[in-house]
Chains A and B, each alone.
Chain A
Amino acid sequence: MKITMINGSPKPGENNSGTLIKYLTSLINENETDVYNISKLKLSDMQFEEMKKSSALVFAFPLYVDGIPSHLLRFLMRLERMDVFDKNTMVYCIVNNGFFEGKQNHIAVSQMKNWCIAAGLTWGQAVGIGAGEMLPFLKNIPFGYGPNKNTGKAINEIANNIKTLKSGDDLFVSPNWPRFLWKMQGTRIWNMRAKKNGLRETDLYN
């Protein structure tokens, strides 16, 4: 079975959507998976031909101002216009956001469902992950453990549904970590990153 994963992150280097795709791929590796990073490459007709053969499309992307980032939206509209997929093709998505609460991804998930209807495909499941910006700091902690416990569990569940092409309830998860601590760490990290750019803390309020 062929599964197409679409990385909707605009970041050229390492990105959270890529990290989540990597983990998901490790769980479904008995299947053929193709990963496309839409911000890096312009897909060729041949790649679209390949995509057509997939039983499932998995979109992993960051939440941008309460919704789907504009570059991914352009891509989705292109896919809809092409009208090439079989109507049984399943659509799954994994959205991560910068706020603590995974629930804040729910509007982007609704937009993906609306797209799925417009494109005439079959809805599978969504996972919405909070505090996505924590992921790079948790590289040494496996998914399913510690702060990554809830994220890991949710990805495991969507992976099982993808493997069997089943639908499931949407899952919204926040990290297994105190929110006040995350907030404090966030402030420290922004200030540290500003300092690296030669700025003082007060400069950030310009």
Chain B
Amino acid sequence: MNLMIHDLDNGLFKKLFKTSKDMHVISNDGSIQRCIGCFGCWIKTPGKCVLKDGYNNMGEILSKTDNIIIISRCCYGGYSPFVKNVIDRSISYLLPFFKTKNNETHHKPRYKKRCALSVYFYGEHITRQEMDTARDLVKAHGVNFNVSEWNVAFYKSSEELLGEVKIK
């Protein structure tokens, strides 16, 4: 399965992308709640977030995904608030326990299956510094979400994404 997390409005999204049955799309319906840092997804209902807003099952969705495709406005070298909110609500994908990799601590994976991560940032005035930060961010996600491969691309506007998103 492929997973697309995006922050575009639905009209534009439909214009830019053809989706198939094999594609799970997560878009902003305005109901997402912020992660409250309760760790319930680790120690109360392991693997699932305790907030019930329709965005509480990210861990399981990620476990079935071969390719994660993220489309986001670039904000200060990171995602837009909606996309970051989805990512913040996804830590049930991992276990609370720690491992050491490259002499740094990270969380152990909950699932055996690994996926690839592609991030498409858009924005008219993305600075060089913001691009560097964004690359570091996706690279760090690559380690923390235990992905098999990752890549990052930048576009001046969301319209430029037409035909650019490659789905394996």
List residues of chain A with CB under 8 Å of any chain B CB: 9-12, 15, 39, 62, 64-71, 73-74, 76-77, 99-101, 103-104, 106-107, 110-115, 117-118, 179, 183, 186-187, 190, 193-194, 197, 199, 203-206
User: How far is A68 from B97 in the complex, measured between Cα atoms in Å?
Assistant: 22
Q: Which residues of A contact B110 (CB under 8 A)?
A: 205
Instruction: Identify the closest chain B residue to A196 (Cβ).
Output: B43
Q: Find B81's partner among A39, A77, A106 (CB 8 Å cutoff).
A: A77
Chosen A-B contacts, 20 in total, with CB atoms closer than 8 Å, are A10-B35, A10-B37, A39-B34, A64-B84, A65-B84, A66-B144, A68-B84, A69-B88, A73-B76, A99-B98, A101-B104, A111-B76, A111-B77, A114-B76, A114-B133, A115-B76, A117-B127, A186-B97, A190-B96, A193-B43
Given contacts A101-B105, A111-B78, A187-B97, contact A197 B144 (CB under 8 A): no
Instruction: Identify the closest chain A residue to B32 (Cβ).
Output: A70
Q: Find A69's partner among B35, B76, B100, B137 (CB 8 Å cutoff).
A: B35
Q: Which residues of B contact A104 (CB under 8 A)?
A: 104, 140
User: How far is A77 from B85 in the complex, measured between Cα atoms in Å?
Assistant: 14
Q: Which residues of B contact A66 (CB under 8 A)?
A: 137, 140-141, 144
Most buried by A among B84, B90, B100, B127: B84
Given contacts A74-B81, A111-B76, contact A199 B43 (CB under 8 A): yes
User: How far is A117 from B58 in the complex, measured between Cα atoms in Å?
Assistant: 33
Other contacts beyond A190-B97, A204-B96: 16, CB < 8 A: A11-B36, A11-B37, A15-B37, A62-B37, A64-B84, A66-B140, A66-B141, A70-B88, A71-B81, A107-B77, A107-B133, A110-B133, A110-B136, A114-B129, A186-B96, A190-B43
Given contacts A10-B37, A107-B140, A199-B46, contact A100 B105 (CB under 8 A): yes
Q: Is the interface of B mostly helix, strand, loop or mixed?
A: mixed
For residue B132, CB closer than 8 A to chain A, the reply is: yes
Interface residue range, chain B: 35 or more
Q: Which residues of B contact A193 (CB under 8 A)?
A: 39, 43
User: How far is A76 from B75 in the complex, measured between Cα atoms in Å?
Assistant: 10
Question: Chain A nearest CB: distance from B107 CB in Å?
Answer: 8
User: How far is A77 from B82 in the complex, measured between Cα atoms in Å?
Assistant: 12
Q: Find B84's partner among A70, A106, A117, A183 (CB 8 Å cutoff).
A: A70
Given contacts A66-B137, A111-B133, A204-B96, contact A118 B46 (CB under 8 A): no
Question: Chain B nearest CB: distance from A27 CB in Å?
Answer: 26
In the complex the two chains form, is B104's CB within 8 Å of A73's CB? Answer: no
Question: Chain A nearest CB: distance from B95 CB in Å?
Answer: 7
For residue B91, CB closer than 8 A to chain A, the reply is: yes
Question: Chain A nearest CB: distance from B70 CB in Å?
Answer: 12
For residue B156, CB closer than 8 A to chain A, the reply is: no
Q: Which residues of A contact B39 (CB under 8 A)?
A: 193
Q: Which residues of B contact A204 (CB under 8 A)?
A: 42-43, 46, 95-97
1/0 per residue, CB under 8 A from A, across B114-151: the answer is: 00000000000001011011001100110010000000
User: How far is A99 from B137 in the complex, measured between Cα atoms in Å?
Assistant: 16
Q: Which residues of B contact A110 (CB under 8 A)?
A: 77, 129, 132-133, 136
Q: Which residues of A contact B24 (CB under 8 A)?
A: none
User: How far is A114 from B98 in the complex, measured between Cα atoms in Å?
Assistant: 30
User: How far is A189 from B87 in the complex, measured between Cα atoms in Å?
Assistant: 25
